[in-house]
């Protein structure tokens, strides 16, 4: 650069004029020039790196909750949610999201990124919104004016040592005028707390782990963001709906006999066991049961009734276990009761926000069915199939289309929609 060349010549000229141009002083001069060169180079580089975008995207990026390591199918993962809000009066497209996780980089783009995104308030909308087609970028993920998109992130690692202390996200944005922009979000810290080790909530074989945490199109628990006091929560991030099945006519079904009777379902009335010792902090009983697959609930669903007959147990460390949808009259503990591991807490039923008998179980950081953030947990021991393939019919009828041979697991969380045997 001209200013650096002029600086070098000026300093040398001063030394020559002063009679200091011998070899010793020339060596000193070179050192001085290197120092001065760095002093000029560093501010120039910083100014270049921090140069503001003259037309910055009018988009904000936030995160629902810092992730914690999650073990599923013998591999560690990070699950978390990014919220992208478009404050402008015109649509933007998120072309790609780069995630730097220590030495590992993840890139989500095109249709794969669109599959992770949901426009809040429009659950039936396709991943690619109208914004994408208007900007003529098929497969990209569009966010219309004034809308917020949730991006359900999942990072898969080979070993726990690869999980970093923080994550860095870079978004590549296409503006309405088709100009491209780069937006760097604030670093997201990673909670180093290990998953909670728990016992088995049920006994025996032929259990279906429905709605396990995944990023597939039917991941209904994973996408159940709820709001309270102006704040979004995802208490069901790692929730599982447990139901039992039998192979009937070549398909796995959860009932035999009259479909509209709860007693026809294989899991109905089965004991629910405490997965960890703790103190009961919430207990509800007396809510009547629904008629299976009727498309109706016998009570108006609200915060008070959604979990049906249920218990919330404080297991320490700011962690709370929810056992939901029990048979009325079967809830076996009251508020402030102490429960032990393996104690029978109730029986599998069909109360509350439930379309057929099952046990809904999850662990959150608050004593609430809906409000709180779900935290990772693992079961001590079980056998499970590879990820299953389910068929969802009218009024949430569930049938198993495909399953595979079981494997033994310890200190793990079942694969997506797997069939499970509890030891």
pLDDT tens digits for range 282-323 = 999 999 999 999 999 999 999 999 999 999 999 999 999 999
CATH number of this structure's domain 196-422: 2.70.70.10
pLDDT band at 267 (very low <50, low <70, confident <90, very high): very high
| pLDDT value of position 370 | 86
Query: Which H or E run includes 132?
Result: helix 130-134
Angle 416-417-421 from CA coordinates, rounded to 5°: 105
- Record the tokens describing residue 122, joined without a space: 């429009």
Residue 381's SS3 state is strand
Given the structure tokens 């503990």, which residue do they identify? 333
| pLDDT value of position 34 | 56
| pLDDT value of position 239 | 97
Q: If you average pLDDT over residues 114-131, what whole number do you get?
A: 66
Identify which of 53, 104, 52 has the alpha carbon closest to the alpha carbon of residue 78. 104
| pLDDT value of position 27 | 56
Give the phi and the psi of residue 377 in degrees, each rounded to 5. Answer: -145, 160
- What's the CA gap between 137 and 306, in Å, rounded? 41
Polymer length of the chain: 423
132 has a pLDDT exceeding 50: no
Q: Return the exposure string of 299-319: e unless at least 16 CB atoms fall within 10 Å of the residue's CB, then b.
A: beeeeebbbbbbbbbbbeeeb
- Record the tokens describing residue 91, joined without a space: 């649509």
All residues at 6 or more sequence positions from 71 whose CB lies less than 8 Å from its CB, including other chains: 77, 195, 376, 378, 411, 412, 413
| pLDDT value of position 43 | 44
Please give the radius of gyration of the chain, using alpha carbons only, rounded to the nearest integer: 28
CATH number of this structure's domain 59-189: 2.60.40
| pLDDT value of position 395 | 61
- What's the CA gap between 350 and 369, in Å, rounded? 16
More confident residue, 393 or 256: 256
| pLDDT value of position 14 | 34
More confident residue, 276 or 19: 276
404 has a pLDDT exceeding 70: yes
Angle 403-408-409 from CA coordinates, rounded to 5°: 105
131 has a pLDDT exceeding 60: no
Share of the chain above pLDDT 70, in %: 82
138 has a pLDDT exceeding 80: no
Range of lowest pLDDT (21-30, 61-70, 195-204): 21-30
| pLDDT tens track for 167-204 | 999 999 999 999 999 999 999 999 999 999 999 999 99
| pLDDT value of position 111 | 86
- Record the tokens describing residue 257, joined without a space: 């006999």
pTM, rounded to two decimals: 0.83
Mean pLDDT of the chain: 86
| pLDDT value of position 167 | 98
Residue 255 has a CB neighbour count (10 Å cut-off) of: 26
- What's the CA gap between 14 and 98, in Å, rounded? 51
- What's the CA gap between 347 and 310, in Å, rounded? 10
Residue 282's SS3 state is strand
- What's the CA gap between 180 and 306, in Å, rounded? 45
Q: If you average pLDDT over residues 338-352, what whole number do you get?
A: 98
Alpha-carbon distance values, 298 to 258, 286, 294, 352, 369 (Å): 19, 12, 10, 8, 19
83 has a pLDDT exceeding 70: yes
């Amino acid at each position: 650069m001209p200013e650096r060349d002029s600086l070098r010549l000026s300093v040398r000229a001063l030394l020559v004029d002063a009679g200091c141009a011998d070899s010793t002083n020339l060596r000193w001069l070179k050192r001085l020039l290197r120092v001065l060169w760095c002093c000029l180079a560093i501010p120039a580089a910083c100014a270049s790196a921090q140069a503001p975008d003259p037309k910055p995207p009018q988009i904000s990026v936030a995160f629902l909750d810092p992730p914690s390591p999650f073990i599923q199918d013998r591999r560690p993962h990070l699950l978390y949610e990014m919220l992208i809000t478009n404050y402008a009066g015109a649509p933007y497209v998120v072309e790609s999201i780069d995630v730097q996780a220590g030495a590992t980089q993840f890139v989500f783009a095109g249709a794969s990124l669109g599959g992770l995104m949901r426009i809040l308030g429009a659950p039936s909308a396709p991943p690619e919104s109208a914004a994408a087609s208007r900007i003529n970028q098929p497969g990209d993920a569009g966010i219309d004016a004034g809308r917020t998109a949730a991006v359900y992130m999942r990072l898969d690692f080979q070993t726990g040592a690869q999980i970093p202390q923080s994550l860095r996200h870079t978004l590549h944005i296409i503006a309405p005028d088709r100009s491209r922009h780069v937006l760097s979000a604030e670093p997201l810290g990673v909670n180093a707390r290990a998953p909670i080790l728990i016992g088995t909530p049920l006994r025996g074989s032929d259990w279906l782990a429905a709605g396990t945490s995944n990023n597939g199109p039917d991941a209904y628990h994973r996408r159940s963001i709820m709001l309270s006091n102006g704040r979004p929560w995802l208490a069901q991030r790692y929730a599982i709906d447990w139901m039992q099945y039998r192979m009937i006519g070549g398909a796995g079904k959860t009932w035999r006999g009259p479909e509209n009777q709860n007693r026809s379902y294989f899991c109905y009335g089965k004991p629910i066991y405490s997965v960890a010792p703790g103190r009961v902090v919430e207990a509800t009983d007396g809510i009547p049961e629904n008629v299976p697959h009727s498309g109706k609930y016998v009570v108006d669903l609200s915060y008070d009734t959604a979990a049906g007959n249920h218990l919330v147990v404080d297991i320490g460390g700011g962690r709370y276990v929810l056992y939901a949808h029990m048979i009325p009259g079967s809830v076996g503990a009251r508020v402030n009761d102490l429960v032990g591991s393996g104690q029978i807490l109730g029986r599998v039923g069909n109360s509350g926000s439930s379309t057929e008998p099952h046990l809904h179980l999850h662990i959150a950081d608050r004593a609430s069915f809906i409000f709180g953030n779900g935290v990772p947990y693992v079961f001590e021991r079980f056998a499970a199939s590879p990820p299953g393939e389910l068929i969802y019919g009218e009024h949430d009828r569930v049938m198993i289309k495909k399953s595979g041979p079981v494997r033994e697991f310890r200190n793990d969380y079942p694969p997506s929609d797997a069939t499970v045997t509890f030891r």
